[in-house]
Amino acid sequence: MFLQFNEARILQDENYHKVPLECPVCYFMMKRTDIFDYQKNQCCSFCSMMLVQPNKEKWKKGWRPSKKEIIKVIKNRKKIPSYIVRGL
């Protein structure tokens, strides 16, 4: 379906699902590689690996980590370099 507003056209796709800019669990910025995990688990790939996979059945039933667990994940994630070093 096309909508037209003074020379601007907007394409609406009912099957399009928006991915947020930041993970709703840890609030780190989402990357392109996080899209699959967000669509599956509604979190980034790091949270998926650290929180969802160990608690897969509980997660499916609606369990979410406590603030204390999220803070621990954030501290661990901050230790990981967020840049890429290129060789000389």
User: Is residue 88 assigned to a domain?
Assistant: no
User: Is residue 10 assigned to a domain?
Assistant: no
**Taking the complete model, does pTM exceed 0.85, yes or no?**
no
User: Is residue 48 assigned to a domain?
Assistant: yes
Answer whether residue 16 shows pLDDT above 60. Answer: yes
Which pLDDT band, with edges at 50, 70 and 90, does 7 fall under? Answer: confident
Parent domain of 73: 18-78
Torsion of CA 60, 15, 28, 40, to 10 degrees: 30
Answer whether residue 2 shows pLDDT above 90. Answer: no
User: Is residue 61 assigned to a domain?
Assistant: yes
User: Is residue 30 assigned to a domain?
Assistant: yes
Which pLDDT band, with edges at 50, 70 and 90, does 39 fall under? Answer: very high
User: Is residue 8 assigned to a domain?
Assistant: no
d(CA 72, CA 21): 22
User: Is residue 13 assigned to a domain?
Assistant: no
Say which residue, 87 or 23, is predicted with more confidence: 23
Domain count, the chain: 1
